[in-house]
Amino acid sequence: MTRNRWTVLIIEDEKTIGNYIEAILANKDYRTLRAADGVTGLSLYASHHPEVVLLDLGLPDMDGMEVLKKIREFSSVPVIVISARIQEREKVDALDGGADDYITKPFGAEELLARIRTALRHRLHMGQSGVQEPMYSRDGLVIDFSKRMVTLRGKAVHLTQIEYKLVSLLARNAGKVLTYDYILKEIWGPYADTDNQILRVNMANIRRKLESNPAEPHYMFTEIGVGYRMLE
Ligand code: CA
């Protein structure tokens, strides 16, 4: 038996999808809890305190966004929204409403497991001690947060203040989608008169400095209509 059996709460009314998720997770030794509606989901959450919640947005008794809001009233547990709908607005709303990530149906086992691992890692990093990793290092790209230095395959990369802030914000949240609104607020402040255009321009400049092919980024991905995600 493995030592760490994380508990995942699945709030999903479609039986086949619930079974599918449960089978994937059981295979990796996760403990699972199932709820087919929002009320049951909330009560299971309150009684079992799972480490991750998978939340379908289209539930029979209440809107998934409502469930998310209720969970956020008392908990910062990672919530991954399962969306059948393809509207970008909904993904953005879910992320801005406190979801940690989303996954769109249909999805494969590997994608689901990767999202859960990311969510758990963020929970471990941020949750208990509040201590951050001192560095981001992936495929030759190194960001030293304490020295505020970025190197690519050993060579220093010169970034503007804003560019550095952007890269480090994404790197500190590597693997997780950050929405345009969230990034704008974090970098330029809540009252700044900015729009996505300034963000796009800065991202294009960063990609020219970091990516060997900016059109096919290796480090910083665009989630179309939603935001950006940095390679985990
Ligand atoms: Ca549903």
Please report, in tens digits, the pLDDT of each residue of the chain (232 residues total). Answer: 444 589 999 999 999 999 999 999 999 989 999 999 999 999 999 999 899 999 999 999 999 999 999 999 988 899 999 987 667 888 889 999 999 999 988 899 999 999 999 888 876 655 444 455 688 999 999 999 888 899 999 999 999 999 999 999 999 999 989 999 899 988 888 777 778 889 999 999 999 999 999 999 999 999 988 999 999 8
CA 37, CA 60: separation in Å to the nearest integer? 6
How far is it, in rounded angstroms, from Cα 77 to Cα 152? 34
Environment of ion ligand 1 (residues, CB < 5 A): 13, 56, 58
What DSSP state is assigned to residue 212?
S
Distance 59 CA to ligand 1 centre (A): 5
Give exposure, 1-20, as e/b (b: 16+ Cβ within 10 Å): eeeeebbbbbbbbeeebbeb
Kindly give the distance from the C-alpha atom of residue 100 to the centroid of ligand 1, in angstroms, as a whole number. 19
Interval between CA 116 and ligand 1 midpoint (Å)? 20
